[in-house]
Structure 1
């Protein structure tokens, strides 16, 4: 991918052409400086933070900076992970003709100017982008000045990464056929607490942490940080049947939602929580997961070997269904369309699956076969190699 340049006039300002505009690599004797750009949603931010952690393990002296925008979740996540964050103006791409479209050239120029100031101040040796609004600014600001590495987490690449890939040194993807020609498939960088997770060893601790039954088959249900109404309705409606069948549930319903549940005498606990602060323990406590199929979720479920029932969010270009397909095809998960997940479907399909230990073991082996636990290390090595060029 290196050396491919968009036609003149594509996507905002062109880079300076004088030799002094380029940063040729780390100055001898100083640590590498890595800038990561992945903002807006956790699906963009978490891989960036996993890369940052992996780089720091390989090069404890590395300087790492994250780019973000004021509207993204990075404002909370990045500082919590211990990394500095610099803000740049977002460059959202309008999906249809509007007054916002007329303002795009000015917004792009402003954002690129600010991004270049940040990169210069950081003495950046490499920019690694993961998609989203802030990545487009990062790619345009770094173009011709700082080497670029692009990572695409979704099965269908977004616009920002399609732009960045045209002039990147290296292009990586979570799965094959992401829409970025020549991309190397490495999986998604994940937190070390996930990639090193031993579910069996932590099972007893995890069940005690959440107040779950120590032996009963247990389903983990979650729909992202805000919950999912489809999952909430289906599982609360099937709660009595699950309890009578001896199935326990750990259900993260979202901080703005509540579940109407009644206690089933003698049944394993149905534990409903607004959110899960320990995903590693949630995965360890479960025998089966029912969840959305965002790229990060699919990657984590695959990495820990947890059998799944994916219920893709029905939006956009159907990317969540595409994300789930490799695991479903391998036999590690089932896919249920959002409109078809009802209390009856949970009772008829999910309940018997949760109680079939032999089938769950087979699915777990298949799921593990699709995972990429080493993606963070692979991407960190590539990042450091590009920085050193």
Structure 2
């Protein structure tokens, strides 16, 4: 059993949510386990971690400069301070293991743990691993990966540890998916009896998704669908204006306007997923993993910037038949009008895609990562 663990990760929901899921699983296995979280003072973890009841200790944020600059001069000193801060927490908590999820705070935690001979367990959420986890993997006792082709030697496929709301929805749908859908539809003010398309580009939204889908509003509604379009903060007016133009042009009857629900943000995304028959979205690791775990088909539009990991994230589900993939530059209102209404109007095809997505999904990622943590601690104890 694990009596004390330090978990490192922060900055984004992609790091914090899996961390909290694993922390909850370790606590469920042993309510007396001492869990300390390393994070930054300003990241998302500064709110979410204390709210979940775990102590948060701050480590200085030390991003690696992308190009030569004055920051390189101060980098060694700042990184040394971060390693010392992480090491102090490891010592004070008498941690048996350090579990890292990537991000700025993980690298100093890995270095401090390695110097002390404390076993390291890593979870990498993306198909293409980040710098922190690539560095820490050299010393890791166990490595869990979300996707099977992630290039980390010794990685074991654990899937993504699901955040609490999604894990609860997985269980609710397994018991009675229709009841879960009806309850969510009522809370959102939607019609549980209509085929539902959810459009989301994340909290910031995605202009290309907004433009392409809203431009095909007439075709979507004519196919009998209702649309929950989450535009991203500050991007709702443009979509509402497009809807208004479609009404004025007569391509959308006034009576159907209410079936196209435009919102800038929805904090309770699990409610949207509970009613969704199809999701049009980016393909971040969290989104892909959650939709697959829930067995929801999707049209994935990878973010066109970065190192290409979003395309890799979606590949296993798409290859299994659980989704479609379209490049951002190829996405258009014409493509949406040609592809999405026909899909929504074909319940047998949607059902087959849902089954394929579920087959590619992992619903017990937190348990699998917790197993790796326990195995690393047991192995270390055996050596001692």
TM-score, reference length from structure 1: 0.88
1:342 equivalent in structure 2: 332
Q: 1:256 to 1:137 in 2, by over 3 A?
A: farther
For 1:140-179, what aligned pairs fall within 5 Å after superposition?
A: 140-145=111-116, 146-179=118-151
**Pairwise CA distance, 1:81:** 2.6
| Secondary structure, aligned partner of 1:65 | strand
**Pairwise CA distance, 1:274:** 2.3
CA contact (8 A) 1:227 1:255 kept: yes
Structure 1 distance, partners of 2:36, 2:204, is 28
Structure 1 distance, partners of 2:346, 2:22, is 37
Instruction: Decide which structure has greater helix share.
Output: 2
Q: 1:387 to 1:225 in 2, by over 3 A?
A: farther
CA contact (8 A) 1:211 1:271 kept: no
Structure 2 distance, partners of 1:276, 1:83, is 26
| Secondary structure, aligned partner of 1:35 | strand
| Aligned positions, number | 360
2:254 equivalent in structure 1: 265
For 1:185-224, what aligned pairs fall within 5 Å after superposition?
A: 185-195=157-167, 196-198=171-173, 199-224=177-202
Structure 2 unaligned regions, length at least 5: 248-252
Structure 1 distance, partners of 2:269, 2:97, is 31
Residue 77 of structure 1: which of 48, 51, 54 is its match? 48
2:296 equivalent in structure 1: 306
| Secondary structure, aligned partner of 2:310 | helix
CA contact (8 A) 1:91 1:136 kept: no
| Secondary structure, aligned partner of 1:385 | helix
**Pairwise CA distance, 1:152:** 0.8
| Secondary structure, aligned partner of 1:128 | strand
| Secondary structure, aligned partner of 2:360 | coil
Residue 352 of structure 1: which of 342, 349, 360 is its match? 342
1:16 equivalent in structure 2: none
**Pairwise CA distance, 1:243:** 2.1
Q: 1:172 to 1:115 in 2, by over 3 A?
A: same
Structure 1 distance, partners of 2:328, 2:51, is 33
1:181 equivalent in structure 2: 153
CA RMSD of superposed structures (Å): 1.7
Structure 2 distance, partners of 1:340, 1:78, is 40
TM-score, reference length from structure 2: 0.89
2:360 equivalent in structure 1: 370
Residue 232 of structure 2: which of 226, 238, 254 is its match? 254
1:67 equivalent in structure 2: 38
| Secondary structure, aligned partner of 2:7 | strand
